[in-house]
């Protein structure tokens, strides 16, 4: 049988439903047995054995026109044009065999100047609902002035179709799951995984490639502003599970977005039209904005639900710790629509330190900002990727290394330029462990973390006295309102000071071993740990 191409994809009106309203997508998903309706109105869906991203199965088409721009290695692994053609053919054949398909056509990028048109073709209605919550719908306030839709990117999601052993052998590929992306053709093919996060992250990856060439700094961060004034913007950088969504969903602040943004010459804009929040251990008291956003039109992924009452059990990890909810950004009360703001006053790096030795909050010099951004230290948290069952130390450049097609120094230099030009303060905030490492210590209290953020945003933390950490050289505040003093120095929270010293030196060495892999100015390298 001859290879099928994207042009062979049957998008005829008799079988394809385009840009259906949320209510109709929910109705079709329920009728097809793709999910159940929770008591709060959310559609609850399962993603099978893949309950997180599959980075080892994500591959980039290797072609001459982009080759020299790519950060090839563990993150960006190549797939040949012939393999990519085969993936398209398999996905197209599968989708054409389905009795119906769903198409979403919308946008990535709240700023029309830097917007991409995105077409998402799916077999399942709930995947189309997912896309319509996370990208920007046409004809909405978020989309702005109506203009004819122009497609820049196409995502072909055939997640139920796994590669057979014969196909793997023919393609010289060793997994039934494949997420293939072509930056030159602007196509994404998803095979073998129903985890909807692959849809979202593939377009973030695309923006990370496209935006630097037009002077926009693409960022894996959340963003909010003062609700009363619409000013005093703050950025929260961090990997999944470190608190981007939680900390940006603040009743005293107006949300710009929870995960992906661009910083242009005019200010910051959201890449997305929705939020994708972790909801493990979610409570109305702890995170009221996220709790209230879970209603009809939102999607709960891999969340346990009582079969009789249909009440979600947010404490259950039966399927995964990486339980998720997606909802349009305007489900957050007071969110800024369109999701655009001015230049940030504060940039906050979030790290979840599994060693339990990083301070809860510290103010960074420009050189330290570059150093900690390039290294991107955190802990890989359970459930966010396939096979991750407990936290482990992880260095992810720019707090989003798995989403970076270009070399990290490209993005680090953009950050340095933006901070210098606009005079932003930079902070390192540890949302991980205190009193000992994972298994001995405990996670920092969200109450204390919020107190740190409040002090950063109201400007008071920039005015206090600071001590210098002996190992990491970080500047630690001597007092923060509503936080016990002993919490501010991590060594004081350990019962055994010698054990802390040993653990701190161990992490410092990991930093030094990691920074050797990057070409950075010596002044930046010298801003790292002293141990």
Torsion, Cα 279 282 285 286, to 10 degrees, reads -70
Q: Which domain holds residue 392?
A: 217-263+343-525
pLDDT in tens, 125-144: 999 999 999 999 999 999 99
Q: Mean pLDDT, to the nearest integer, of 445-469?
A: 95
**332, 275 Cβ separation under 8 angstroms:** yes
Categorise residue 442: left if φ over 0, alpha if ψ from -120 to 50, beta otherwise. beta
Q: Global pTM?
A: 0.92
Confidence class for position 383, pLDDT limits 50, 70, 90:
low
Kindly state the average pLDDT of the residues 466-491: 95
pLDDT class of 249 with cuts at 50, 70, 90: confident
Asked if the structure places residue 441 within a domain, the reply is: yes
Active site residues: 53, 201, 220, 240, 244-245, 259, 324
| CA distance from start to end of the chain | 62
Both 417 and 487 in a single domain? Answer: yes
End of a domain among 331, 351, 373?
A: 331
Residue 531 lies in a domain: no
Q: Which two tokens stand for residue 54?
A: 């599959």
Residue 19 has pLDDT above 70, yes or no: yes
Q: What pLDDT is attached to residue 90?
A: 98
Residues 373-378: what's their mean pLDDT? 94
Q: How much is the average pLDDT of 394-403?
A: 92
Q: Note whether 19 and 137 are same-domain residues.
A: yes
Based on the fold, state whether residues 481 and 399 are members of the same structural domain. yes
Are residues 294 and 429 part of one domain? no
How many structural domains compose the chain? 3
What CATH number corresponds to the domain at position 305? Answer: 2.170.8.10
Same domain (yes/no): 106, 178: yes
Structural domain includes residue 42: no
Look at residue 413 and tell me if it is in a domain: yes
Give the model's confidence band at 251: pLDDT under 50 very low, under 70 low, under 90 confident, else very high: confident
Residue 130 lies in a domain: yes
What is the rounded distance in angstroms from the CA atom of residue 395 to the CA atom of residue 517? 11
20 and 80 inside one domain: yes
Whether the predicted pLDDT of 385 surpasses 60: no
Residues 82-118: tens digit of each pLDDT: 999 999 999 999 999 999 999 999 999 999 999 999 9
Encode pLDDT of 52-61 as tens digits.
Answer: 999 999 999 9
- Domain boundary residue, one of 331, 355, 374: 331
Residues 362 and 489 in one domain: yes
How does the average pLDDT of the chain come out, rounded? 94
Are 112 and 154 within one domain? yes
CATH number of the domain to which 127 belongs: 3.40.449.10
Q: Is the pLDDT of residue 238 over 70?
A: yes
Confidence bin at 389 (pLDDT 50/70/90):
low
**Structure token digits, residue 480:** 């923060």
- DSSP label of 56: G
Same structural domain, 221 and 210: no
């Amino acid at each position: 049988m001859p290879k099928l191409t994207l042009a062979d994809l049957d998008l005829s009106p008799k079988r394809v439903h385009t840009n259906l309203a949320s209510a109709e997508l929910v109705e079709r998903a329920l009728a097809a047995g793709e999910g159940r309706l929770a008591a709060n109105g959310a559609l609850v869906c399962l993603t099978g054995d893949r309950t997180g991203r599959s980075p080892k199965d994500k591959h980039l088409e290797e072609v001459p026109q982009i080759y020299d721009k790519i950060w090839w290695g563990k993150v960006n692994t190549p797939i040949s044009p012939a393999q990519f053609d085969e993936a398209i053919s398999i996905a197209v054949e599968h989708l054409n065999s389905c009795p119906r398909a769903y198409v979403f056509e919308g946008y990535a990028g709240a700023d029309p100047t830097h917007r991409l048109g995105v077409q998402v073709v799916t077999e399942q209605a709930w995947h189309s609902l997912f896309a319509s919550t996370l990208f920007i719908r046409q004809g909405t306030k978020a989309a702005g002035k109506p203009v004819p839709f122009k497609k820049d990117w196409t995502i072909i999601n055939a997640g139920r179709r796994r590669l057979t052993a014969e196909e793997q052998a023919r393609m010289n590929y060793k997994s039934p799951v494949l997420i293939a992306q072509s930056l030159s053709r602007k196509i994404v093919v998803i095979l073998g995984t129903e985890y909807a996060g692959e849809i979202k992250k593939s377009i973030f990856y695309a923006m990370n490639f496209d935006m630097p060439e037009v002077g926009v700094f693409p960022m894996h961060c959340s963003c909010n502003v003062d609700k009363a004034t619409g000013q005093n913007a703050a950025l929260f950088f961090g990997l999944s599970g470190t608190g981007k969504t939680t900390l940006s969903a603040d009743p005293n602040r107006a949300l710009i977005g929870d995960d992906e943004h661009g910083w242009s010459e005019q200010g910051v804009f959201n890449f997305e039209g929705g939020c994708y929040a972790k909801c493990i251990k979610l409570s109305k008291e702890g995170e009221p904005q996220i709790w209230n956003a879970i209603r009809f039109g939102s999607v709960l992924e891999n969340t346990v639900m009582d079969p009789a009452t249909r009440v979600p059990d947010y404490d259950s990890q039966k399927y995964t710790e990486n339980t998720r909810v997606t909802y349009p950004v305007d489900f957050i009360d007071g969110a800024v629509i369109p999701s655009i703001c001015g230049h940030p006053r504060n940039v906050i790096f979030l790290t979840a330190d599994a060693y339990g030795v990083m301070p809860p909050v510290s103010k960074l010099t420009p050189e330290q900002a570059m150093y900690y951004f390039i290294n991107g230290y955190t802990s890989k948290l359970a459930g966010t990727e396939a096979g991750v069952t407990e936290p482990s130390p992880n260095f992810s450049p720019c707090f989003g290394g798995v989403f970076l097609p270009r070399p990290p120094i490209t993005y680090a230099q953009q950050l340095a330029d933006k901070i210098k030009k606009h005079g932003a303060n930079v902070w390192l905030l540890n949302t991980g462990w205190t009193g000992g490492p994972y298994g001995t210590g405990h996670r920092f209290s969200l109450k204390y973390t919020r107190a740190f953020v409040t002090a950063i945003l109201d400007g008071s933390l920039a005015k206090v006295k600071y001590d210098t950490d002996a190992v990491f050289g970080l500047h630690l505040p001597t007092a923060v309102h509503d936080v016990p003093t002993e919490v501010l120095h991590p060594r004081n929270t350990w019962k055994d000071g010698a054990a802390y010293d040993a653990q701190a030196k161990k992490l410092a060495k990991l930093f030094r071993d990691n920074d050797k892999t990057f070409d950075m100015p010596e002044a930046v390298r010298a801003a790292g740990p002293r141990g």
